[in-house]
C-alpha cells in the first residue's frame, strides 16, 4: 500500500482524505532535520509538512520517486520547489485557508489600537484606574489604508467597511476595488490620508525594507500601523522612534525579521515594552478553524493529484484542473522538460503502439511541461516504457480506471 508521511501535526481531518485516496497515513509529531527526514522517507510516496521541516535538494535527490509534497501551511520557502519540479514532484500548499483568521486579528487590533485598549488593560492590571476618553476613538468614519490588496487585503476591506470605516488601498497589481473601497495611485497617497495603515503585501524579494523612515514620515500624525504580513518588510527601529515621539500613536506587529524557531526560544525586539504596541508571535493565521481548513485543503489537493493528475494550485508544476475520467481506461500524467517537439514524440510513441488518445491537455511553467493524456484503448507496457525512456521525461505516472489494472502504474 502507498504511504503518506505527515510531520508536524497537520489537522487530523487530513488522514481520512488521504486514506480514501489509497494511502496508509503515518504521523510523526515533530519536524525533522535533513538526515532524519531522508531516513524516514524510505518507502514513502507522499510527504506532508508544515513550516519547520526543510525539504532540500539533498532530501529530494535521495528520494526522487516521491509523488507529491503537501505543505500544510501558507508559505513554501522551506521546500526547494525547483528541485522538486525537476524531479516531477508536485508541491501543494494552502494559500488562503487562514485568510479569515488574519483578517479577524487585524480587525481586533485596529479597534484595540484606536481605543488604546492595551494601555487601559495594562494600567488596570497594574492597579491604576484611569478612566479617560483621551486618545480613544471609534473606528467608524476613520480611514483604513490597506497596502497589498490580495486575499487578506480584500477580505479586510469588506469587513472594515461593514464596521463603517472608509477604505483606501494601494496594490502594485491591477485590482478590483470591492464595495466602496478606493484605489489610490501610490503608497504615498494611501499614507497621506489613512488613520490606520495595514500591510498585507507578499514576501517577494523586492519588498524587503519597503516600509522605512520615508514611509513612516509620510503617514498622518497620530495614525497607527499594523504589520501582519512579513517581518523583513519594515524597519522596526524607525517604528520605535516614531512611537516614542508620538507621531505614530500605536502599532500591532505579528511578524518579525527574525523569529524564534520554536516555542520557548528567547525573543527580542526593539518594539518590546512600548505603549500602545501589540506584539503577537506570528499567530495571525493560527486558529483551530484555519488549521482545519488547511488540513482539508491540502489533503484534497494531494488526493486529486494522485487520483486525477490535477495540479490545480500547485506551486511548482504547470496548473491543470482535472477531474477523474469516467470514460478513459488509462490516464497518463507526464512531467517533462519544456522543449520543442516533446508532445509530438509522445503522441507518435502512443500511436506506434496502438494506444488511442481520447483527450489530452498540456500546461507549461518555465522549464517544466505537464501533459495529461487519456487513453481509451489498450496501453501496452512498451508504450509506457518508450515514453519513460525519452530524454526529456521527468516523471511518468499512469492512473488506471478500476477494472483495467493490467497496465503498468509505476513511476518513472
- Please pick, from the candidates 98, 118, 194, 293, the single residue that binds ligand NAD as defined by CB under 6 A: 98
| Alpha helix (H) residue ranges in 168-309 | 187-193, 213-218, 236-244, 288-308
**Three-state secondary-structure class, residue 297:** helix
Query: With contact defined as beta carbons under 8 Å apart, do 28 and 7 qualify?
Result: yes
CB of 194 to ligand NAD, least distance (A): 14
| Contact flag: residue 85 with ligand NAD (CB under 6 A) | no
Closest CA to 5 of 26, 20, 32: 26
Residue with cell string 503617514: 219
Residue 105 or 399: which CB sits closer to ligand NAD? 105
63 tagged catalytic: no
| Contact flag: residue 203 with ligand NAD (CB under 6 A) | yes
Distances (CA, A) of 93 to 5, 248, 315, 365, 404: 16, 36, 7, 17, 32
Identify residues 57-76 at the interface with ligand NAD (CB under 6 A).
Answer: 74
Residue 96 or 370: which CB sits closer to ligand NAD? 96
Q: Is 164 left (phi over 0), alpha (psi -120 to 50) or beta?
A: left
Q: Quote the Cα angle for 78-81-83, to 5°.
A: 115
Closest CA to 371 of 405, 337, 326: 337
C-alpha cell at 268: 527580542
Identified catalytic residue from 230, 329, 395, 397: 230
Residues composing the chain: 412
C-alpha cell at 219: 503617514
| Contact flag: residue 100 with ligand NAD (CB under 6 A) | no
Identify residues 274-333 at the interface with ligand NAD (CB under 6 A).
Answer: 282, 284-285
182 tagged catalytic: no
| Contact flag: residue 201 with ligand NAD (CB under 6 A) | yes
- Please pick, from the candidates 151, 303, 310, 316, the single residue that binds ligand NAD as defined by CB under 6 A: 151
| Contact flag: residue 152 with ligand NAD (CB under 6 A) | yes
| Contact flag: residue 150 with ligand NAD (CB under 6 A) | yes
| Contact flag: residue 133 with ligand NAD (CB under 6 A) | no
DSSP 98: T
Identified catalytic residue from 259, 289, 352, 389: 259
| Contact flag: residue 170 with ligand NAD (CB under 6 A) | yes
Query: How far, in Å, CA of 313 to CA of 104, rounded?
Result: 25
Identified catalytic residue from 28, 82, 282, 307: 282
- In terms of DSSP bridges, do strands 368-375 and 248-253 run parallel, antiparallel, or are they unpaired? unpaired
Distances (CA, A) of 359 to 88, 326, 330, 356, 407: 21, 12, 11, 9, 18
Residue 46 host element (H or E): strand 46-49
Binding mask 222-261 for ligand NAD (x = CB under 6 A): ------xxx-----------------------xx------
Residue with cell string 519588498: 207
- Please pick, from the candidates 193, 210, 345, 362, the single residue that binds ligand NAD as defined by CB under 6 A: 210
282 tagged catalytic: yes
| Contact flag: residue 197 with ligand NAD (CB under 6 A) | no
- Please pick, from the candidates 33, 35, 39, 202, the single residue that binds ligand NAD as defined by CB under 6 A: 202
Piece of 112-120, 177-185, 199-207, 359-367 that binds ligand NAD (CB under 6 A): 199-207
- Please pick, from the candidates 10, 153, 295, 369, the single residue that binds ligand NAD as defined by CB under 6 A: 153
Number of residues that bind ligand NAD (CB under 6 A): 30
| Contact flag: residue 172 with ligand NAD (CB under 6 A) | yes
Closest CA to 6 of 104, 75, 72, 73: 72
Binding site for ligand NAD (CB under 6 A): 74, 96, 98-99, 102, 147-153, 170-173, 200-203, 207, 210, 228-230, 254-255, 282, 284-285
Instruction: List active site positions.
Output: 230, 259, 282
Amino acid at each position: 500500500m502507498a504511504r503518506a508521511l505527515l510531520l508536524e501535526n497537520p489537522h487530523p481531518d487530513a488522514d481520512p482524505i488521504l486514506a480514501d485516496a489509497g494511502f496508509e497515513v503515518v504521523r510523526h509529531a515533530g519536524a525533522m532535520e535533513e538526515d532524519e527526514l531522508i531516513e524516514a522517507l524510505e518507502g514513502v510516496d507522499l510527504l506532508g509538512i508544515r513550516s519547520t521541516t526543510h525539504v532540500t535538494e539533498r532530501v529530494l535527490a535521495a528520494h526522487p520517486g516521491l509523488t507529491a509534497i503537501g505543505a500544510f501551511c501558507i508559505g513554501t520557502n522551506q521546500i526547494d520547489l525547483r528541485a522538486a519540479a525537476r524531479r516531477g514532484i508536485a508541491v501543494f500548499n494552502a494559500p488562503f485557508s487562514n485568510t479569515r483568521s488574519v483578517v479577524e486579528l487585524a480587525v481586533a487590533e485596529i479597534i484595540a489600537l484606536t481605543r488604546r485598549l492595551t494601555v487601559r488593560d495594562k494600567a488596570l492590571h497594574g492597579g491604576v484606574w484611569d478612566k479617560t476618553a483621551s486618545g480613544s476613538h471609534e473606528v467608524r468614519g476613520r480611514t483604513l489604508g490597506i497596502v497589498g490588496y490580495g486575499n487578506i487585503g480584500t477580505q479586510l476591506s469588506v469587513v472594515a467597511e461593514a464596521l463603517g470605516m472608509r477604505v483606501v488601498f494601494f496594490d502594485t497589481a491591477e485590482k478590483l476595488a470591492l464595495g466602496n473601497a478606493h484605489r489610490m495611485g501610490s503608497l504615498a497617497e494611501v499614507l497621506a490620508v489613512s488613520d490606520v495603515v495595514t500591510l498585507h503585501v507578499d514576501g517577494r524579494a523586492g519588498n524587503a525594507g519597503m516600509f522605512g523612515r520615508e514611509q513612516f514620515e509620510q503617514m498622518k500624525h497620530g495614525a497607527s500601523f499594523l504589520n501582519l504580513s512579513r517581518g523583513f518588510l519594515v524597519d522596526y527601529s524607525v517604528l520605535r522612534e516614531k512611537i516614542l515621539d508620538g507621531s505614530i500613536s500605536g502599532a500591532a506587529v505579528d511578524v518579525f525579521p527574525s523569529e524564534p524557531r520554536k516555542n520557548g526560544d528567547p525573543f527580542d525586539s526593539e518594539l518590546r515594552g512600548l505603549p500602545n504596541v501589540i506584539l503577537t508571535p506570528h499567530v495571525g493565521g493560527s486558529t483551530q478553524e484555519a488549521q482545519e481548513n488547511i488540513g482539508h485543503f491540502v489533503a484534497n489537493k494531494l488526493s486529486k493529484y494522485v487520483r486525477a493528475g490535477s495540479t490545480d494550485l500547485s506551486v511548482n508544476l504547470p496548473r491543470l484542473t482535472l477531474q477523474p475520467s469516467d470514460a478513459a481506461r488509462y490516464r497518463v500524467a507526464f512531467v517533462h522538460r519544456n522543449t520543442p517537439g516533446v508532445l509530438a514524440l509522445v503522441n507518435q510513441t502512443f500511436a506506434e503502439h496502438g494506444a488511442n488518445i481520447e483527450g489530452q491537455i498540456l500546461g507549461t511553467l518555465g522549464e517544466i511541461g505537464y501533459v495529461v493524456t487519456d487513453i481509451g484503448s489498450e496501453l501496452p507496457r512498451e508504450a509506457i516504457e518508450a515514453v519513460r525512456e525519452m530524454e526529456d521525461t521527468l516523471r511518468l505516472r499512469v492512473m488506471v480506471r478500476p477494472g483495467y489494472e493490467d497496465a503498468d502504474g509505476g513511476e518513472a
